[in-house]
Amino acid sequence: MTTAIAIIGSVVTDVSDGFSVRISTSDGHTVTIENNFEVKGGTNPFSVAASASGEFSLESSIFKGAKITDAQYDESGSLSISLDNGSEISVAPDEVYESWQVAGPSGSLIVCMPSGDIAIWS
């Protein structure tokens, strides 16, 4: 079973990297990824992994300006975000750390807890 996330239709306005990858949207949501992840679709699928220092490095132009066409998580805690440029971001849960979270403009929060459990605050 999958659960849709209310960011469908939003446009990616900013992407920043460092100890996490943060994706900001036109409707005020922020997706924070704190685990290695994959980007599929397009001509060059690739993986994004933290360096030895724990930092991520990502070329933000591949996402900026793209419209989110689908966003969902499943019962295992995996996150999938599809963009209108053909890219799909996939984040698996981690056994020890929180993998991802989606924060809403009104204070709502969805967090993938260690081992894939999902916590929701509204």
In which domain, by residue range, is 44 found?
2-121
Instruction: Tell me whether residue 90 is exposed, middle or buried, using C-beta atoms within 10 angstroms of its C-beta: 0 to 12, 13 to 18, 19 or more.
Output: middle
Q: What is the pLDDT of residues 46-105, one digit of tens each?
A: 888 888 888 888 877 889 999 999 999 999 999 999 999 999 999 999 999 999 999 999
pTM of the model: 0.93
Q: pLDDT (tens digit, 9 = 90+) per residue, 7-56?
A: 999 999 999 999 999 999 999 999 999 999 999 986 677 888 888 888 88
Domain count of the fold of the chain? 1
Task: Give 56: exposed, middle or buried? Use CB within 10 Å, 0-12, 13-18, 19+.
Answer: buried
SS3 107: coil
Distance CA 115, CA 95 (A): 4
